[in-house]
Amino acid sequence: MSRHRRPVLICYDIADPRRLRRAFRELRDAALPVQKSVFVAALTEAELERLLERLAESIDVEEDCLQVFRLRTLHPSHGLGRTAGLKDTWVA
């Protein structure tokens, strides 16, 4: 498994407030929140797998949705508003 960190976008739609808080805490510890239910991170495959295992314990797969998208870069191609300076916060 690669030790190279790859950028990912993680987003979720979680129905129950308690599960939502648990998932948020797991993600906040591993990634940077860019919107209420959207996070970005630079993770190795092993780190991503461990994070997904922890998140699987926090959500209900019948009611909730969590998706991970691999990115080419952590830097947004465009930005407006409060998170427009996000690219300046990452040291990849």
Q: Domain limits of the chain?
A: 6-74
Q: What is the CATH number of domain 6-74?
A: 3.30.70.240
- What local confidence, expressed as pLDDT, does residue 72 receive? 85
Tens digit of pLDDT for each residue in 16-57?
999 999 999 999 999 999 888 999 999 999 999 999 999 999
- What local confidence, expressed as pLDDT, does residue 3 receive? 83
Residue 35, phi then psi, degrees to nearest 5: -150, 180
- What local confidence, expressed as pLDDT, does residue 1 receive? 55
For residue 76, what are the contacts with CB-CB under 8 A and spacing of at least 6? 83, 84, 86, 87
- What local confidence, expressed as pLDDT, does residue 91 receive? 40
Tens digit of pLDDT for each residue in 49-85?
999 999 999 999 999 999 999 998 777 666 667 654 4
